Amino acid sequence: MSVADEIEKLHRLHQDGALNVEEFAAAKAKLLAGDSTPPMLAATGLLRRSRSDRWLGGVCGGIAKVSGIESWVWRLLWVVMACFAGVGILAYILCWIFVPDEDNTG
């Protein structure tokens, strides 16, 4: 993937609210400096539970903002995982507890 494609992904993350101005600038500078860490991998530390796209805890909405995949797809995946001995339920509850809310960045 070219640098231009990676910068475009960063721009979309910034527009979707997954990256603030400082995070966008830092990731762009890191990418232009030749750091080979994919921006998507770097953005995983920026995961926040969504306040606008939530049904329960906002986990799927937050993952959707970071990944660029629609939140309904993530909801469907959680339901499928829940069918496998409750793994999805446990994982969702852990994400609800440990992933910070997008308003609570501290």
Residues 8-34 pLDDT 10s: 888 888 888 777 888 888 888 887 777
Type of residue numbered 63: I
* Residue 80, token pair as written in the block: 């499928």
**pTM for the whole thing?**
0.53
d(CA 5, CA 57): 32
- Cβ atoms of 10 and 28 within 8 Å: the answer is yes
- Cβ atoms of 96 and 50 within 8 Å: the answer is no
What per-residue confidence (pLDDT) applies to 17? 78
Q: Quote the radius of gyration of the chain (alpha carbons, Å).
A: 15
